[in-house]
Amino acid sequence: MVGGGKDAFIGAIHRIVANMDGLIELSCGALSINPEIAVDSGRSLFLNEDRIYLNFEEMIKKESQLPAEKRIDFITIVTPNFAHFAPAMMALEHGFHVVIEKPIAFTLDEAKKLKAKVEETGLLLCLTHTYSGYPMVKQARAMVKEGVFGKVRKVWVEYPQGWLSKLSEREGNAQAAWRTDPKKSGKSGSMGDIGTHAAHLAEYITGLQITKVCADLNVLVDGRALDDDGNVLLRFNNGAPGVLMASQVAAGEENALKIRIYGEKGGLEWAQQEPNTLLVKWQDAPAQILRAGSNYGDRLSSFATKNCRTPGGHPEGYLEAFANIYRNFALTLSARIDGTEAPAENLDFPSVADGIRGMAFIDNVVASAASALKWTDYVI
């Protein structure tokens, strides 16, 4: 693991979820750029002293020199956005598979270089777009793909959070500080941090791609250096319109990612805060409540049922969704090591292609926000 020392938020999450299924073991780490924290953190995680590294370069070099049966299989990168590219590229160059916390990189250009390297090496790159790991998101995708709603006509995705409603970056909140700093976070705050999740969710479920955007990005808290709110009109490659909203200043909201999709015959609604329910609406029949883990004969897709650990009514949450990404990645990796073919459900984790689209989304939205024209073509 690169990054994720004591008190880092997302690193701890990665460790919990990687542990969950007993498939992955944390063996080494360059857990902080602060040597003291790096060592302390490594010890508190019961790492062997000789595998607690002070920086990723050292870690990758030394690990690559270990015998195969002792060497790590892959590297997880959980540093702030600006520090994703270098360890990822070096890991690929030394033959390690890579898991990267979203976004894949700091710029689209970096993302393209990673893509080229992945293609060149044939290694796996897994991007932890957590929300696509939920079973009912996979169910939604399966239903749209199957065509039960007919052509997708409209997409409505929203991601309101309230945690940046004050100028917390000036009040000692470390998370707020780096996420609102363009040098560490990237070109956009609201769109980089959460808008990309919303865009990924919309494309993942519909199977469509955004082709045009019309963006309105705003700084709603005075003194902030990056946008903290954005509203974007979308056009998809089947002609369907959409709306995407991401806000970090929706005071009183927690993490209220929600998507609604309407087709010719019905629609669906999924909300991250009650993730075990998929509401399915029909033009000519009562709405249905599909529930994760439930046993309705063959009514749930195998993509939903294979990404569940508990029976219906035993709620799963964010950590299980996150763990699904790791598990699918690990099973795909195992299959590769064993020379077998992973089933389609296991191959279902976000990859470098999703990373490219995420970076492009940010670039295109920022370009649109700066434009006086309504529509900006989505370019990669």
In contact, 188 and 363? CB cutoff 8 Å? no
Residues 6+ apart with CB under 8 A from 249: 162, 164, 165, 220, 221, 228, 229
Q: Smallest distance, Å, CB 310 to its own copies?
A: 6
The candidate with the shortest Cα–Cα distance to 364, out of 258, 210, 208, 257, is 210
Give Cα separations from 207 to 138, 235, 236, 361 (angstroms). 11, 14, 10, 16
> d(Cα 380, Cα 378) in Å, to the nearest integer?
7
Q: Smallest distance, Å, CB 231 to its own copies?
A: 5
Site for its own copies in 226-245 (CB under 8 A): 229, 231, 233, 240-243, 245
> d(Cα 291, Cα 17) in Å, to the nearest integer?
22
Q: Smallest distance, Å, CB 303 to its own copies?
A: 17
When the beta carbons of 86 and 367 are compared against its own copies, the nearer one is 367
When the beta carbons of 55 and 294 are compared against its own copies, the nearer one is 294
When the beta carbons of 48 and 375 are compared against its own copies, the nearer one is 375
> d(Cα 166, Cα 74) in Å, to the nearest integer?
39
Site for its own copies in 16-35 (CB under 8 A): 16, 19-22, 26
Query: Count residues contacting its own copies (CB under 8 A)?
Result: 89
In contact, 347 and 181? CB cutoff 8 Å? no
Does 201 sit near its own copies (CB under 8 A)?
no
Site for its own copies in 247-266 (CB under 8 A): 247, 249-256, 260, 262-266
When the beta carbons of 115 and 327 are compared against its own copies, the nearer one is 327
Does 367 sit near its own copies (CB under 8 A)?
no
| β-strands 229-236, 125-127 pairing | unpaired
Sole window of 80-88, 200-208, 359-367, 368-376 interacting with its own copies (rule: CB under 8 A):
368-376
Site for its own copies in 342-361 (CB under 8 A): none
> d(Cα 71, Cα 77) in Å, to the nearest integer?
17
In contact, 328 and 346? CB cutoff 8 Å? yes
> d(Cα 178, Cα 288) in Å, to the nearest integer?
42
Site for its own copies in 135-154 (CB under 8 A): 149, 153-154
Site for its own copies in 46-75 (CB under 8 A): 46
The enclosing H or E element of 281 equals strand 277-282
Strand partners, 232: 215, 244
Q: Smallest distance, Å, CB 240 to its own copies?
A: 8
Contact string (CB under 8 A) for its own copies, positions 99-138, x = contact: ----------------------------------------
Q: Smallest distance, Å, CB 287 to its own copies?
A: 4
Among 312, 336, 343, 345, binds its own copies (CB under 8 A): 312
Does 218 sit near its own copies (CB under 8 A)?
yes
Site for its own copies in 286-305 (CB under 8 A): 286-291, 293-294, 296-297, 299
> d(Cα 18, Cα 205) in Å, to the nearest integer?
25
Among 32, 188, 272, 301, binds its own copies (CB under 8 A): 272
